[in-house]
Amino acid sequence: MEGTRLLERIRAMARDPEDRKAADVETLQSSILNHLSRMLNTRQGSSVIASDYGVPDFSALCTAPNAGNVALIEKAITEVVQRYEPRLRNITVHFSEDRDEPLKMRFTLSAELSDVESEDKAVVFQTVLTPNGRISIRRQQAPVS
């Protein structure tokens, strides 16, 4: 059943190259999202790829979210994404306070897709850092101004 839908999508993309470009961008964004999730949930020093791959353990910083801790987290996320996700450029990470969930820290990761022939290269991801140091990430549909 799944193979049938795949074949239908391949045939449709062959008929309309514009659909293929849209599908390629969607596939690229999904791949980036998966990589960001793995990378942001890897602790620095635990990867055989490189000792600086991943992020520090943020669990202690979550319990006392102050301006200094927020800046450290923003900087760490920005640096690791710049270093290990070459499909993104012009990366910015900003804290988004959520008074409804004070034990979770939310960050908006905004960037542009590299090497994409599309007018709208902007992508925005919402990340949530929980007190145990885990980070969940999802795409935000419309870029934030």
Instruction: Render each residue's pLDDT in the chain as its tens digit; 145 residues.
Output: 444 455 665 665 566 555 545 558 888 999 999 999 999 999 999 988 899 999 998 887 776 668 788 999 999 999 999 999 999 999 999 998 888 887 889 999 999 999 777 677 899 999 999 888 899 999 987 544 4
The two tokens of residue 83 are: 């270093």
Complete edge-to-edge strand list for the sheet that includes strand 88-96: 88-96, 105-113, 122-129, 135-140
CA–CA distance, 92 with 81 (Å, rounded to integer)? 10
Length of the chain: 145
Place of tokens 């804290």: 95
User: What global pTM score does this model have?
Assistant: 0.78
Domain ranges within the chain, ordered by starting residue: 2-140
Q: What top-level class would CATH report for the domain 2-140?
A: alpha beta
